[in-house]
Amino acid sequence: MIELKEDALVFSFPAVHPEARLKITFQRTFRIPDDDKEYPLPPGFGAFPLRHVDDYAGKVPQRWIERGGVLLPMYQSEALWLDFMSYPTSYGRHAYPFAIKVATGKINAVTGDSWSEGLNRSPQDYMVSTEQPWLDGYCVEKGVIRQFVAMPLGAGYSAEEQITGEAEHGGIQIAVYPMKREAFENYFYFPKLEEAILVFGPSVCESCSEMGLSPGGRMRQEIYKDPFKLDDWDMENTSRCFVHIANSMVWRSITGDDPPTVPLTAKDYNDGGLPWFDYYNKDGKALSGSQKLDQMKSVAQKGKEKGDVPLPENESVTPDHIIKMRKSLMRDQVREGHF
Amino acid sequence: MTTYIVDYIVYNMETIFGQYIRGRREELRKKDRSFSLRQVAGKIGIEPSFLSRVERGEPTSLSEEKIIALAGVLGEDPDVLLALSGKVSTDIQDVIRKRPKLFAQLIRDLKDLPDHAVLRIVREVRDGDW
């Protein structure tokens, strides 16, 4: 089951385990420069607003209603990262593990393959919540991703268009699989704590205002190998959601609300002495990148081909202040930026 | 010869409602004299004799508006007082009237659940065809 609570998708599986809960938010951030350098992780500036598509029937395309799910606003060439937040359980505060599949335009962000149901290995097409706190982009090499950057669907930049040649879906697709209860209790047997700390138009706009995610700048981020067995995941109980991306310029005409403010540049953030982040998981093994995804042209490269300038203010930056976050110490650290 | 006088108390809606509000008013009056029959009647804009008949359970009827005002004066929940008098507030009636099948079913389904079980309504994110 998925609930929309305060701009977060909250996944719960009461039929599997009462404490099986995962919260996913889409974080606003700045676009890292799309040059050949590799950058550390940019901060989050708060979650993108999320709304049920059903609340805007008549204001969004009919196919959005057919797909169900939610919508969020992005400006052209704005970036985004996904935050996977687990809840501590009463089992020694260990979080309940989930397998998470993420696609953009129904192209898997880890493998570059077309969307499929179920979990696959060789190559692994999902992430594990206990290993992977965030996903910033497409896994192009071992330890390197290309940042998720929004571009108008149909303009040729999105991962979907570069790989399939079509601009059919756009948006972000997510499926979450909980660990089987028996497997969880097997791995994480702890005497139960006394208190279970459980936290957790007028006119219809057509595809000119529909966005698809595209590969932007390079960032140091590992996608971690699943440390559990494929059989540990509960394939019978899954929840999935289609996240539509509306252009921020039309968000007000759809929802009546103001979109979030235009994000600042990497240069301004860095000049302000504000921190970037690095994540260190010494036990995690990183997946190799996907060739399919690596072969995509970044937004800047595609723009050059087309004679466009899709990314204003794309100058290189040297990050000055990097905060290292280690997996075991992460509990109280947050990947946040304030300006 | 002993004469037995037996009072038959007819328990109808008016009696229960009347007894309740009288009980509340008297309790408040012990601490504060402004809760006399006359004063409370004045506060809600009715004659004291009328309020007296209501409290005695006589077949008189207070309007929804007056019951809500009375609830305010006595520090009672207006929906609770309305229910005691056999009424449902108009705004709730409108909600039910718009989707009577849905709400009738919902209320019947929830009727026997203990209070703590009827905690919140969950709206799920709907998954469609893709």
pLDDT digits 0-9 by tens, A267-300 = 998 898 889 999 888 888 999 999 999 999 999 9
Q: Over range A186-203, report the average pLDDT.
A: 50
Instruction: Tell me the torsion sign for CA atoms A201, A203, A204, A208.
Output: negative
Tokens matching residue B74: 């006595």
Q: What is the pLDDT of residue A258?
A: 92
Most B CBs within 10 Å: which of A54, A106, A107, as the mutation test of the B interface?
A54
Q: Are the beta carbons of A21 and A200 closer than 8 angstroms?
A: yes
The count of C-alpha atoms lying within 13 angstroms of the C-alpha of A246, restricted to the half-sphere facing its C-beta, is 31
Identify the CA nearest to A108 among candidates A287, A310, A305: A287
Confidence of residue A263 (pLDDT cuts 50, 70, 90): confident
Any chain A CB within 8 A of the CB of B125? yes
* B28: helix, strand or coil: helix
Q: Burial, B10: exposed, middle or buried (Cβ in 10 Å; 0-12, 13-18, 19+)?
A: exposed
Q: Are the beta carbons of A295 and A111 closer than 8 angstroms?
A: no
Any chain A CB within 8 A of the CB of B119? no
- How close B104 gets to chain A, by Cα (Å)? 24
Q: Which of A36-50, A192-206, A306-320, B51-65 shows the highest mean pLDDT?
A: A36-50
Give the whole-angstrom CA distance, residue A57 versus residue A66.
10
Q: What is the pLDDT of residue B25?
A: 96
Q: Please state, as a whole number, how many other Cβ atoms lie within 10 Å of the Cβ of residue B94.
A: 9
Widest pairwise Cα distance in chain A: 64
Confidence of residue B118 (pLDDT cuts 50, 70, 90): low
Q: What is the pLDDT of residue A327?
A: 78
Q: What is the pLDDT of residue A208?
A: 55
Q: What is the pLDDT of residue B14?
A: 74
* B17: helix, strand or coil: helix
- pTM beyond 0.80: the answer is no
Residue type, A274: L
- How close A93 gets to chain B, by Cα (Å)? 26
Q: What is the pLDDT of residue A128?
A: 97
Tokens matching residue A155: 């303009």
Q: With a cut of 80, say whether residue B43 has pLDDT above it.
A: yes
Contacts of B67 (CB under 8 A, 6+ apart): B78, B81, B82, B85, B87
Q: What topology does CATH give the domain B13-110?
A: 434 Repressor (Amino-terminal Domain) (1.10.260)
Residues of chain A contacting B129 with CB distance shorter than 8 Å = 66-68
Residues of chain B contacting A241 with CB distance shorter than 8 Å = 125, 127
Q: What is the pLDDT of residue A192?
A: 55
A68 and B125 in contact by Cβ < 8 A?
yes
